[in-house]
Amino acid sequence: MSEHTRTPQDPVGRVLVVDDEQPLAQMIESYLVRAGFDVTQAHTGPAAVEQARAWAPDVVVLDLGLPELDGMEVCRRIREFSDCYILMLTARNNEDDKIAGLTTGADDYITKPFSIRELVTRIRAVLRRPRVATTGTGMTSTWVFGDLVVDLSAHEVRVNDAPVPLTLTEFAVLVALVTHPGQVLTRQELITDVWDTSWIGDERIIDVHIGNLRRKLDTSGAGLGYIDTVRGVGYRMGRA
């Protein structure tokens, strides 16, 4: 994975804005720069992949309707070499498109038209999350649930001793669950734990990330239920 070592003089984060509507991309850049971010743009799918590889952004703001390569394929390709936070911009109201994007590896989405203030708030919220989990005094670093091992200090997940690649958001959701063993967490509690109280959006996004986690953790295809659904309440770690 590409890494960027930030110094105290650096901006608060590096953001790649990908949109073929150049006036919109420029407007987003202007607001983000004003908010203290280091920003660059790309306007086609191939250019977005190349720029993400070369520049190693912390966040990619990614439009789905791109020329040459659509946003879904761009997301897939970026995920091959980067764990940066990917926030999709979409003019589509189709719920299937949003779910497909999140399943492809995006972390969040905003539907056009959107508030620039909301976009800035979401980017700030995710950049406040540590990229590598840390543990305080007396806190367990490694959690074991049957064949599932979650190592917070190494930022690693293994099932049957095989590594399971997760996005930063998937890992954060899993950590929120494993560090509250036996406790049912509501969608809102998970959002507060993973993003923070300033996050604005559809809390059903948690359901999609939970679905992705279940699919990735079930490496045998046997339907192992590491994460339980408590109907009408939320989610908790199971005893698989």
- % of the chain at pLDDT higher than 70: 83
Q: Give tens-digit pLDDT for 122-139.
A: 888 778 765 444 444 445
Tell me the mean pLDDT in the region 161-170: 90
As a whole number, mean pLDDT of residues 218-239 equals: 81
User: Above 70 in pLDDT, residue 6?
Assistant: no
Which amino acid, 16? L
pLDDT band at residue 221 under the 50/70/90 scheme: low
Q: Does domain 142-237 have CATH number 3.10.129.10?
A: no
> What mean pLDDT, rounded, does the chain reach?
83
What's the pLDDT at 201?
67
Instruction: Answer whether 59's CB lies under 8 Å from 14's CB.
Output: yes
Q: Which of 26-40, 114-128, 152-166 has the lowest mean pLDDT?
A: 114-128
Q: Is the dihedral of CA 15, 20, 21, 22 positive or negative?
A: positive
pLDDT at 235 over 90: yes
Bigger pLDDT: 157 or 132?
Answer: 157
pTM greater than the 0.75 cutoff: no
Calculate mean pLDDT across residues 30-42.
Answer: 95
10-26 in b/e form (b: 16+ CB < 10 A) is eebbbbbbbbbeeeebe
Return the pLDDT at 135.
Answer: 43
d(CA 22, CA 202): 27
Whole-number pLDDT of residue 27: 94
- Is there a contact between 144 and 214 (Cβ–Cβ < 8 Å)? no
Longest Cα–Cα distance of the chain, Å, equals 52
Q: Please, where in the chain does CATH 1.10.10.10 lie?
A: 142-237
Burial of 69 (0-12, 13-18, 19+ CB in 10 A): middle
Burial class (CB in 10 A: 0-12, 13-18, 19+), 226: buried
C-alpha distance from residue 34 to each of 31, 89, 93, 121, 168 (Å): 5, 20, 30, 13, 26
**CATH 3.40.50.2300 domain locations along the chain:** 14-127
CATH of 14-127, one of 3.30.460.10, 3.40.50.2300, 3.40.50.2000, 3.40.800.10: 3.40.50.2300
Beta pairing class for 234-237 and 162-163: unpaired
